Structure 1
């Protein structure tokens, strides 16, 4: 561990809305732990992680804009996704894995933003999953706050399942509106393609 002291902490107050974009086939309230395949998952599969955003932009970018070289986004792909909202029922304490938290965890923004390449042995997710396990070892932390690798203005949250009591599902399975999607895609240089 970087030291016995607590890493830099970001707080989210009670009564704040958090967002999730997810597949239509998967419910909003899903803490994955089956295969440890995502960025902040527990490498040992002991705890689950729910991926959220402080705005809808972060989870949208993380789910839809995963391949920046592909500039055309098919509406049918977006239509197969839903967004849901959660309300915090108490304050969240999150390990800050951006700003000074990068140095504390002995990492860089490049490492925590690295893309997953299943063809390469020793994927970059090993580093982020190690950081997740370190943060989880601090019992007073509810998860991790990090910047979206696809829109660094957007702050995201990897919430540990032990903090499930800190959120309440507010809306589930909402459709992403075409006008909103176009407004997000246009300044980023993407085109929405309708079939």
Structure 2
């Protein structure tokens, strides 16, 4: 049996979490855009609105998660299991890492952990590469009476990490900081840099 579509109502079963002002995420963007605050529309992303009436900003909980989501998205289709994969210095130089922070509290729907179980769903909703069904669930969360600001869900590439999809209704509560190119990025608190991320996720550099 496949994961079912959302009900007409049933929002009382939807779990949610409030995130305090100052919550931080990360996102990688190409330097030509000059901003990471891009709210996606169309059919090409998991939680986009099937009716195209709102945009969705995809964020990661850490730089390593953002890297996996950006460069690892199609790895299973491009590389056989346990074979070498490579990223170029040019690709790392062309892309910047951004820190995104909310200046006010946000209220997000939970499509992870017990939040899935409460809706009689499972991880198939999060792993399918056919986005039609998760997009319908995105619209269902968006239409909840609580006027939620987005969705919390696990990373498909790093299942122990967390991603966030924010609806454009919270656009004015977000701030961004350009941390520079991926090639030059280094975390001042931990000393981690892009080479540590490449090594941990099995990438070679050319």
Selected match of 2:122 from 83, 108, 113: 108
| CA offset digits 1:119-173 (Å, max 9, x no partner) | xxxxx2112111111110014310001111111122111000001132222x136
In structure 2, the partner of 1:9 is 16
SS at match of 1:152: coil
Q: Which has the larger radius of gyration?
A: 2
1:38 to 32, 41, 45: 45
Superposed CA RMSD: 2.0
Matches within 5 A, 1:26-175: 26=33, 27-33=35-41, 35-66=42-73, 67-68=75-76, 69=79, 71-115=85-129, 124-138=130-144, 139-169=146-176, 171-172=177-178, 174-175=180-181
Gap change, CA 1:132 and 1:182, over 3 Å in 2: same
87-96 vs 103-112, which moves further: 103-112
TM-score by length of 1: 0.84
Closer, same or farther in 2 for the Cα pair 1:36/1:130, shift >3 Å?
same
Which residue in the other structure is 2:187 paired with?
none
- How many angstroms apart in 2 are the aligned matches of 1:173 and 1:187? 21
User: Which consecutive segments of 4 or more residues in structure 1 shift more than 4 A?
Assistant: none
For structure 1, the 5+ residue unaligned runs are: 116-123
Change (3 A) 1:106 1:77: farther
| Number of aligned positions between the proteins | 183
Deviations 1:72-122 (A, max 9, x none): 22222222211211221111111111102223444321331223xxxxxxx
Which segment drifts farther, 23-32 or 135-144? Answer: 23-32
TM, length-normalised to structure 2: 0.80
CA distance in 1, matches of 2:128, 2:91: 24
Provide structure 2 residue ranges, at least 5 long, that are not aligned to the other structure. Answer: 1-6, 185-191
Q: Work out the CA distance in 2 between the residues paired with 1:6 and 1:168.
A: 31
Q: What is the CA deviation profile of residues 12-40 of structure 1, one whole-angstrom value per residue up to 9, with x for unaligned ones?
A: 2111222111122222111122x231111
Secondary structure of 2:125's counterpart equals: helix
**Contact map agreement 1:47 1:160 (CA 8 A) in 2:** yes
In structure 1, the partner of 2:27 is 20
